[in-house]
Structure 1
Amino acid sequence: MLAAIGLTSTAFGVSILSALLPLISIELFLVGAVLKGPELPWWLLALVVTVGQIGGKLLHYFAARGVLRLPRLLRRTSERKSHGRWSRRLKRFRERCHRRPVWTNGMLLFSAATSLPPYAATAVTAGWARIPLPAFILTGLAGRFARFTALILLPGTLTVWF
């Protein structure tokens, strides 16, 4: 029981860190945890890691949306923020995302499940484009849960076949 609680809290912490720092791989952690011996039901491990990942990605989303204040080194200057072709392109991109919610949600779901494009970049772009928070969270939870479920179940499936 204590080992299961330890694995759950470790998995949650690693998932948040991997959402924030691209050098940490939650995928490698999951495969290693499963190969070591499943102490948790697969769905619980997938759920814990999914919630941690979305929690971490929400920081990217809120930072891009301007809700979180970034350190001075990472902030844009006010001159670059309000002038030029990038602001016009951003406005057009936001409008397209809001006019095509099915396409936008499909891309969010696809990225969450496959990491193509990288989900960290998608989280920033979603915040930047002001995608509604419920859409970002729901597509992220569904896609990430599918991704982590596949990663957790894959080693067991391969051992049955080989």
Structure 2
Amino acid sequence: MPATKKESVYFGLMMCAGMVIMMTCYNLFTNGLIGKISFMVILLQLALGFVIAFLLESFVVGPIAKKVVFSFLRNKSSKILMIVMMAFCMVIGMVTFMSMYGLASSYYANGLGGESLLGSYFSIFIKNFVFALPLQLLIVGPTVRFLFGRLKAKSVNESLSAV
């Protein structure tokens, strides 16, 4: 886990990149858009989604999730419980906001298709939450923590060998 502000930024960048790439692919697939929109539009969506997700994670959802987790978690020695609670809070917050982004993108691209705004939002929210929680808990979260741990260990070893 990150120990400094700089490490937190790197960890957040890695986590956002993984989740945005996977969630974008999922949403393209579930909405039948693979092959229907250009590669450049997909790249634009990825870039915009990444920037929005990183800003939300850094300044809104992340700080709130940390406060919630640390207010409920009295026993900070349970690392697994802390990771699961943090992932759950982050997924709820990020899906809440990124579903708004998805709704706005969908509306801009082709309207709501006769559905109500609230109905469309909840449909997007549920589909995204059902995919994002296991994705975070089982694939992206463990992968990013593993890679981040390796990068952190490598930088410590390099700084020790430089001394």
Tell me if TM exceeds 0.5. Answer: no
TM-score normalised per structure 2: 0.32
TM-score normalised per structure 1: 0.32
